[in-house]
Structure 1
Amino acid sequence: MKISAEIKARARDWWVRLDSGELNADEHAEFGRWLAADPLHRQAYDQLRELWGALEAAASRLTVPAIVKPKPVWRTWQWALPALAGGCLALWLFNPLWIMLRADFHTGFGELRDIHLSDGSIAHLNSNSALEVHIDGARRQLTLLQGEAWFEVSPDKARPFQVSAEHGKVTALGTAFNARLRDGKTEVSVTQHSVAVDLAQSGREARHTVISEGQQVVYSSESGLEQPQNIDTQTVTAWQRGKLVFENRPLGEVLAELNRYHRGYLLINDAELAQRRVNGVFRTDQPLAVLDTLETSLKLHSSRIGDYLIVLHR
C-alpha cells in the first residue's frame, strides 16, 4: 500500500521533534503509539532513517580524497562556463555591497547567530542573512535585508516590534515569528501567538491580515498578500537545529537552499531537471554531502571546479 503524503508529513514531524531532543516522556509514549497504530507509520519513519543513514555515509566519503577518472577538459568547461557567468551574476544579486553597508548584523555562509537586542528581544539569524536594527526610546523597527531570521519578542505596548521585509511590514502581537526572503517573496510564519502583516502596494490599496500560531502567509509586490496557510512550525524552524526539511520540493529550490550554506555555487542548467522532486531531512553543515547524496539517489552527474562551482546535469 502506498504511503500517503499525510503519513509522510507526520513521520517527518516526529523525526524533527525527536532529533531536537526536547520531547518529554509523554511525547515519547505518544510517538510509540503512533508507530504501533499502522504498519505504514513505521515504514514511513524507517524510510526517513534510511535516508539519514545515506547522508551520513556520503559525509564520511567526502572526508577521504577520491581517485576520479580525469574528464576531458572541454567537456567540463562546456558545462562550467555558462554556470560561471551565472555565478558571477549571482554574486552581485545575492550579496550586493549595499546590503553589507546597511546591515547592523549579518552572518556568513553556514553561520548562525543569536543577537540579543537592547529591548530584551532576541533575533536569531540564519546563514547568509542581514538585519538592520533601529531601537530607541520611541520605536523598535528592524529591516530584514537578506536571508532569514526568527524573532523572540520582548513585550512593550508603548513600542510595537516591527520588522520590514521587502514591500511589507510585520508587527508582533505576541512572542515569536519567523521571516524569510526567498525568490522575490517574503514568508512570515508564526511560532507563538500572532502577528499583523501589512503590504503596501504601489497604485493599489494596502493589504492587511493577522495570522496566528501555526500559520504562514506569503507576500510579494507581484502576487500581493496570499491566503494564510497552516504549517508545521517544527519544520519551519528546523534550521535552528541544523536541519533542512524538504517535502516534494523541486531540485532547483533545494539547490538554492543549499547555496545559502555553501561558500560557492551549486547550479543546475536543465529546467526540466530542476523540477525533479526531492524529499528528505538533511544537515545544514554538510551541503556537499547533501549534494553527493542527491547526485547518487537521482542518478545525476556533476562538473566541478573544485568545491567552488558545481553544476549538476544528466
Structure 2
Amino acid sequence: MTQDTLSEAEYDAITDAAAHWCMRLHAADCTDEERRAFQQWHDAHPLHAFEYEAMLEIWDVAGHLPRPETALVVPVAQPARPWRRYAIAAGVCALALPLTAYTGWHLGWLPNSYEHFAATDNVRQVTLSDGSQLELNLNTDLTFSNYKDERRVTLKKGEAFFTVSHDTSHPFVVRAGEGRIRVTGTRFNVWMYEDQVRVNLIAGSVLVSSNRQLPGDGLRLEPSMQARYKPGDYMPQISQTYPDDASLAWRSGKLVLDNLPLSEALPLINRYLEKPLMLADNSTGAIRVGGIYNIKELNNLANSLPKVLPVYLTRNKEGNPVINPMPQQPPKS
C-alpha cells in the first residue's frame, strides 16, 4: 500500500486508527501490550506516523474544549475531508460531547483551519491562511488555528516576527508561555526561551498580558516599546527601545550582544545551542560579554569564551558546559 494509491476509505481508516491510538496512549489504563501494538502500527507505514502526529497536534487544540454538564446532541453529518481530523479529535477529547466540526466552529470551540510551522537550521518565511506574514527564527515551532472569534498562534518555542493582516472584527492572538499578545493588524516580534517571553512592537499597537487567566486584555504597547514577562508575573514589565536596538538582528542571521552580563546574554545564546551554557554561580553571571555572532555558528561560541573573557569551562553531570570565573591572583606581598 502506498500513499499515492490509497482510497478514501483506506485513508479514513488510518485517520480513525490514529484517533484511537491517540486516545488510548493518553488513557491512564493504557497497557504495555497496547503501547507495543501502537508502535508496530506506527512503524508499519509512513502515513501512520504522519496521521498520528497530526492527531497529536489537534489533540492539543481540541483538548481545551468545554464540557457542559449535559451532553449537547446535534445531528452528525459525515464531515468533509478538511474537517475529518478536527471532528474526530473533538469527539475523542470531549468524550461526552458528540460534536461535529461544523457545530464546533459556530460555537467557537474548534478552528476551521489548523497549520503547523517549524524552522530548524534556517530562518523561514511563511504565510498563514489569513494572509499574515511570519518570519521564523532558528529552532522555532508554532501553530496557527483560525477560530470564529479569533485567529490564534501558539508559539511553542523560539522566535517569530509577525506582520499581521488587518481585521478588526477577527483579532489575532499569540499565546506564548503563560501570557498572550492581542492585535488586529500590526508588526511585532515575539521571543521565547524556557519561561521567559519578550515582545517588541514595531508598528501599530498590541495588548500584552502576562497571564491568560487574569481578567482584561493586558497592557498596551506603542511602537518602540518592549514587554517582558515570565511565569508568576502579575503584569509584564514595559520598557522603551531605541533606534540602535539589535534584538531583531536575527532576521539578518546575526545575534548582537551589546555588553550584556552573562546572566542576560545566556538566554539569548542558549536557544541556538544543542547543550545550553550554564553559570557556575551568580558572580559569573555579572561578567559582561559583547560582539556580533552568526546564529548558525553559535555552537562554537562556548569554546571561544575563555579566549575573550576571564573564564574557563567545565561540564556538569548532564554534559552541559559550565562557565566558571578565573580565580583571582592573590596580591603580591
Give the counterpart letter for 2:241 in structure 1. Answer: I
Residue 242 (str. 1) matches residue 253 (str. 2) = yes
The alpha carbon displacement at 1:200 in A equals 3.8
1:285-300 matched pairs, under 5 angstroms: 285-300=296-311
Residue 263 (str. 1) matches residue 274 (str. 2) = yes
The alpha carbon displacement at 1:240 in A equals 0.9
For the residues of structure 1 that align with 2:125 and 2:133, how far apart are their CA atoms? 7
Normalised by the size of structure 1, how large is the TM-score? 0.59
- What's the secondary structure of 1:290's corresponding residue? helix
- What's the secondary structure of 1:235's corresponding residue? coil
- What's the secondary structure of 2:269's corresponding residue? helix
8 Å CA contact 1:119, 1:154 repeated in 2: yes
Give the counterpart letter for 1:172 in structure 2. Answer: V
Name which of structure 1's ranges 113-122 and 288-297 shifts more when overlaid on structure 2. Answer: 288-297
Query: Among 233, 255, 260, which residue is 1:223 paired with?
Result: 233
For the residues of structure 1 that align with 2:169 and 2:133, how far apart are their CA atoms? 18
Match of residue 167 from structure 1:
178
Match of residue 329 from structure 2:
none
Give the counterpart letter for 2:117 in structure 1. Answer: F
The alpha carbon displacement at 1:286 in A equals 1.5
Runs of 4+ in structure 1 displaced over 6 angstroms?
98-101
For the residues of structure 1 that align with 2:287 and 2:131, how far apart are their CA atoms? 44
Match of residue 222 from structure 2:
212
Match of residue 114 from structure 1:
125
Give the counterpart letter for 2:190 in structure 1. Answer: A
Deviation track 1:127-162 (CA, whole Å, cap 9, x = no partner) reads 222212102665311111212111111112231111
Residue 179 (str. 1) matches residue 216 (str. 2) = no
Query: Among 100, 104, 108, which residue is 2:116 paired with?
Result: 104
Give the counterpart letter for 2:223 in structure 1. Answer: E
1:1-314 matched pairs, under 5 angstroms: 104-108=116-120, 110-135=121-146, 139-200=150-211, 206=216, 208-232=218-242, 234-303=245-314, 309-313=320-324, 314=326
For the residues of structure 1 that align with 2:231 and 2:269, how far apart are their CA atoms? 26
Give the counterpart letter for 1:105 in structure 2. Answer: F
> Which gives a bigger RCO, structure 1 or 2 (Cα 8 Å, sep 6+)?
1
The alpha carbon displacement at 1:215 in A equals 0.5
Deviation track 1:35-70 (CA, whole Å, cap 9, x = no partner) reads xxxxxxxxxxxxxxxxxxxxxxxxxxxxxxxxxxxx
Give the counterpart letter for 1:226 in structure 2. Answer: P
Give the counterpart letter for 1:301 in structure 2. Answer: Y
Q: Structure 2: any 5+ residue segments left out of the alignment?
A: 1-55, 61-114, 327-333
Rg larger for: 2
For the residues of structure 2 that align with 1:236 and 1:106, how far apart are their CA atoms? 21
The alpha carbon displacement at 1:118 in A equals 0.9
Match of residue 28 from structure 1:
none
Deviation track 1:238-270 (CA, whole Å, cap 9, x = no partner) reads 111111122232224433332222233433333
Give the counterpart letter for 1:139 in structure 2. Answer: E
Deviation track 1:169-222 (CA, whole Å, cap 9, x = no partner) reads 2122432111122352321110112112234465x6546221111101123342
Give the counterpart letter for 2:191 in structure 1. Answer: R
For the residues of structure 1 that align with 2:211 and 2:255, how far apart are their CA atoms? 31
8 Å CA contact 1:128, 1:147 repeated in 2: yes
8 Å CA contact 2:210, 2:236 repeated in 1: no
Matched length: 213
Call closer, same or farther: CA 1:201–1:195 in 2, change over 3 Å: closer
8 Å CA contact 1:116, 1:122 repeated in 2: yes
For the residues of structure 1 that align with 2:276 and 2:211, how far apart are their CA atoms? 34
Normalised by the size of structure 2, how large is the TM-score? 0.56
Q: CA RMSD in A?
A: 3.0
Q: Structure 1: any 5+ residue segments left out of the alignment?
A: 1-97
